[in-house]
Amino acid sequence: MIQLYEQGGYLINGTELVLGQKQQEEVARKIGRVVDVEEARKGTMSYGILKQHDTSDDPKQLRLKYDLIAIHDVNGVNVLQSARASGLTEFPLPVLITNCHNALCAVGGTLNEDDHKYLLSAAKKYGGMFVPPGIAIIHQYMREMEAAGGKMILTSDSHTRYGPLGTIATGEGGGELVKQMMGKTYDFGRPKTAAVYLTGAPQKGIGPHDLAIAIIGAVYKNGFVNNCVMEFVGDGVSSLSMDFRLCVDTMTTETTCWSSIWQSDSKVKEFFEIHNRPAAYREILPAPVAFYDRVMTIDLSKIKAMIAMPFHPSNAYAIEDVQKNPADILHEVQKEGQKLFEHSDLKFDLMSKIKDNRVVVEQGIIGSCAGGSFENINAAADILAGKSIGSEFFNMSVYPFSNPVYLELMNNGSLQKLIEAGAVIKPAICGFCFGMGDIPANGELSVRHATRNFPNREGSLAGDRQLCSTALMDARSVAATALRGGVLTAATELDVEYHSHSYYFDGGLYNRRSYNGQGRPRSEIELQMGPDIKDWPTFYPMEKAVLLKLVSVFPDPVITTDDLIPSYASSFRSDPERMSEHALALRDPNFVPASKAVRRMEKERRDGALGEELASLFEQIRSIEGCQALDWKHISIGSAICGNKVGDGSAREVAASCQRVQGALANLAAEFATKRFVSNLKNWGILPLLLPQNPGLSEGDYIFLPDISNELADGTEKITAYWIRGRNVLPLLANLAASSKTEREILRKGGLINYYRAG
């Protein structure tokens, strides 16, 4: 079904694979000339697009300028407040603001509409575009209205992927968007490429989430495409509709790849014609010879109906295997899942979902940027037409991902079929995907065509002893499960006639409601600051040395951004101090009080009033060679966390900024999961330190970096570090994660806002 080839390979004429980097002779025999591997690397689809957007003279270090950036209402205020504090006067490039995350969340009183008012006023003041709540999910609007062949788009949402349309798109924390707003560049080492070579065609009843879950299951844990560009090629691409491609593409984020691109064909051209943008089409194909650092081959005809069990999209199983052996599989998933809650009294229970040797779930949802497509919802309607989901415990919601899609589903009768079957139709929002609506009851299991199923992401509050969970499935299998009242069912088990519906796009739905002030800033406009919208607190530049106190140490294989700041905390998103009170709340409730104690130590240091603990530490620091002349005024003090693989998941920069607000100055890890999380750390003045060997660090230990400021300025990778435990002071191996000259200076200044303020 899926084969992985780490040695890479050549793609010839877009159709034939020659596996292995050292196969130049075979390639030469096939094409009649010798091709150098470095030259062949330039034949990938991504190479040309990146080159057109690169302002650097160094072929290994990109400095990218994007064509457009977009933000949404869950982090838009934070991003714009950072840009405002950095000196923003007008947008130097097109900026789109959508409102798709918090349109239905009632928590916070007037907060949601206060944020929307602020964002609209910012669009007017700085010269941007604004899409009101409930009109479209950010990614679908971008697909329909902005993505184009050869374009590059940057947004503040992690599932930013428009590869099937010929656009290289990435999701990042707000700091990277602020850089673009300030006319600066996105700095990144040239990414490797991974060919995803598709053959055949999917079976009837197989949808995009089946393929996406299979891919994620194959590559996430081994890091096969980490920070790569995934390029989808092969004759199997033509067998997939545009909706299918787009819904798979958005899930490539969960592989930890950097971005994605697909070879184009007549279906891409037709997509732009349907959406009244024929000029946006550009043929995107690999060169006659292209070399890929990694190769994955997939026979689409062998993809099965899949389910991603809690608590990660990579926890992939064929539904038929779960049905054949529910007790063993659910027991194993339950055992692994319970490890996440071993330090609490929460009990993760999946075994109770087995009834009469069948798995029974309580909820089904179709929506988000991955699920709410025209074709997915039509297919679900065909499955449920003339049937009922029943009147028992099972419930179902459907979220079309834009109003133009919503309208067409009304016109062709699909929504009527779903409503008659008992489903509830919701507006074009994505809040349910991270716990803002449709939260299951405590202990329930929901099956969803959505993007993520991390712990508590669906909205349960661990601090209130709540725990429910989510499994990911394709819309077709969600509907098949609904048809049987919650009994887990693969769509491939059903004999269904799927109807083909033509699609008419009504762009007037956007034109009549959206604000477009692009390129027309109105400086006289006052920002509408609601009572919960606060400025960022003061962050101080880094002193010559840094003293870190480890307040949280995680033995877990992975720490996600949902662990670092839970989804529910977005209710306080516009007040940095208030939101930071929830940092690591689900994984280490002691982080905030412990970090606050360190924060007080830093304030005492700046005020010149040293407590007993600092006095004792100073004696040990003075014992280190070369540190005898150091004074406390030269030593910044901050908290730090330590883990194995840190930062998997969302682009949400608050996973870093909330730590910073609470006084954190470093994250230590054996590895960082994504480039975007490392960027978030650096943009907030938090050192991303890699530990080649963890000597057994524990909470309460100190790490001393005696010359960190100079080492950042000098560009050294190895950081001088000492581990202090009790009376023992030992050298510690530590490296700074790959950083550009600008990023090092941002760290020295104490974060991006300080960097821009300093000019």
Class for domain 308-497, per CATH? alpha beta
Give the closest residue to 654 by CA, choosing from 704, 584, 744, 600.
Answer: 584
Residue 479: exposed, middle, or buried by beta-carbon count in 10 A (0-12, 13-18, 19+)? buried
Count CB-CB contacts under 10 A for residue 389. Answer: 21
Distances in Å between the alpha carbon of 140 and those of 75, 145, 148, 384, 406? 18, 8, 13, 25, 12
Find all residues with CB under 8 Å of 551, minimum gap 6, and list them.
Answer: 590, 591, 594, 595, 598, 639, 640, 641, 699
Residues 6 or more apart in contact with residue 25 via CB below 8 angstroms: none
Decide: 498 and 204 in contact? Cβ < 8 Å: yes
DSSP lists the bridge partners of residue 95 as: 69
Higher pLDDT, 169 or 611: 169
Q: Which residues in 90-204 belong to E strands, given as ranges?
A: 95-98, 129-130, 152-155, 168-171, 186-189, 193-199
The alpha carbon torsion through 716, 719, 720, 721 (nearest 10 deg) reads: 170
Give the per-residue pLDDT at 80.
92
Residue range 66-184, CATH number:
3.30.499.10
Do the domains at 66-184 and 308-497 have one common CATH topology?
Answer: yes
SS (H, E, C) 643-657: EEEEEECCCCCHHHH
| One-letter amino acid for residue 49 of the chain | I
Extents of the domains making up the chain: 2-60+191-302, 66-184, 308-497, 545-757
Out of 181-185, 379-383, 466-470, give the one with best mean pLDDT. 379-383
- pLDDT, mean of residues 513-535: 91
Q: Distance between terminal CA atoms of the chain?
A: 54
Is-contact 44 286, C-beta < 8 A? Answer: yes
Q: Tokens in use for 598? A: 């360190």
The count of other CB atoms within 10 Å of the CB of residue 239 is 15
Tokens of 757: 């303020």
Asked whether the beta carbons of 540 and 109 are under 8 A apart, the reply is no
Amino acid 76: pLDDT: 86
- Fill in the DSSP letter of residue 108: T
pLDDT at 682 over 80: yes
Vertex 227, ends 71 and 4: CA angle to 5°?
Answer: 130
Q: Residue 107 pLDDT more than 70?
A: no
3-state secondary structure of 551: strand
DSSP string spanning 713-756? Answer: HHT-SEE--EEEETTEEEE--EEE-S--HHHHHHHHHTSHHHHH
Closest CA to 638 of 750, 553, 554, 732: 750
Q: How confident is the model at residue 265 (pLDDT cuts 50, 70, 90)?
A: very high
Q: Could you give the CA distance from residue 736 to residue 257 in angstroms, rounded to a whole number?
A: 21
Backbone phi, then psi, for 516, in 5-degree steps? -125, 95
CATH code matching the domain that covers 2-60+191-302, chosen among 3.90.550.10, 3.50.50.60, 3.30.1240.10, 3.40.1060.10 = 3.40.1060.10
Q: What is the mean pLDDT of residues 525-538?
A: 89
Give me the half-sphere count of Cα atoms (radius 13 Å) on the Cβ side of residue 556.
Answer: 21
pLDDT band at 317 (very low <50, low <70, confident <90, very high): very high
Report, as an integer, the average pLDDT of 251-273: 96
What per-residue confidence (pLDDT) applies to 25? 75
pLDDT of residue 139: 93
3-state helix, strand, coil in the chain (%, to 5): 35, 20, 45
pLDDT confidence bin for 228, thresholds 50/70/90: very high
State the Cα angle at 72 between 166 and 671, rounded to 5°.
75
Q: Mean pLDDT throughout 248-264?
A: 95
Give the C-alpha separation, 268 to 291, whole Å: 24
- Give the separation between CA 549 and CA 703, rounded to whole angstroms: 6
Across 616-628, average pLDDT: 81
**Three state DSSP letters for 438-495:** CCCCCCCEEEEECCCCCCCCCCCCHHHCCCCEEEEECHHHHHHHHHCCCECCCHHHCC
Q: Cis omega before residue 311 (within 30°)?
A: yes
Whether the predicted pLDDT of 606 surpasses 60: yes
pLDDT at 220: 92
What is the rounded CA–CA span in Å between residue 447 and residue 366? Answer: 9
User: Could you give the CA distance from residue 408 to residue 289 in angstroms, rounded to a whole number?
Assistant: 42
pLDDT of residue 108: 62
The 10s digit of each residue's pLDDT in 117-158 is 999 999 999 999 999 998 999 999 999 999 999 999 999 988
- Per-residue pLDDT band for 623 (boundaries 50, 70, 90) equals confident
* pLDDT for 65: 95
Q: What tokens were used for 579? A: 């939101």
Q: Does 513 or 615 have the greater pLDDT score? A: 513
Q: Cβ-count burial of 430 within 10 angstroms (0-12 exposed, 13-18 middle, 19+ buried)?
A: buried
Q: Any bridge partners for residue 424, and if so which?
A: 397
Count Cβ atoms below 10 Å from residue 63 Cβ, excluding itself: 17
Closest of 402, 428, 434 to residue 75, by C-alpha: 434
Nearest Cα residue to 664 out of 645, 682, 691: 682
pLDDT tens digits for range 432-475: 887 778 888 998 999 999 998 888 888 777 777 888 899 999 99
pLDDT single digits (tens) 626-666: 877 778 888 999 999 999 999 987 777 889 999 999 999 99
Residue 21 confidence (pLDDT) = 65
Topology adopted by domain 545-757: Aconitase; domain 4 (3.20.19)
Query: What's the pLDDT band for 196 if we cut at 50, 70, 90?
Result: very high
Task: Identify whether the C-beta of residue 473 lies closer than 8 Å to the C-beta of residue 447.
Answer: yes
pLDDT above 90 for 417:
yes
Distance CA 351, CA 364 (A): 19
User: Quick check: 193 and 41 in contact, CB under 8 A?
Assistant: yes
Mean pLDDT of the chain: 91
Structure tokens at 34: 């010798």
Per-residue pLDDT tens digits for 546-583:
999 999 999 988 898 888 988 777 778 788 898 899 99
pLDDT at 104 over 70: no
Give the percent of the chain with pLDDT over 70. Answer: 99
| Residue 525 burial (C-beta neighbours within 10 Å; 0-12, 13-18, 19+) | middle
Round to whole Å and give the CA distance between 311 and 329.
14
Question: What's the CA dihedral at 271, 273, 274, 275 to 10 degrees?
Answer: 90
- pLDDT of 751 above 60: yes
Radius of gyration of the chain (CA): 26
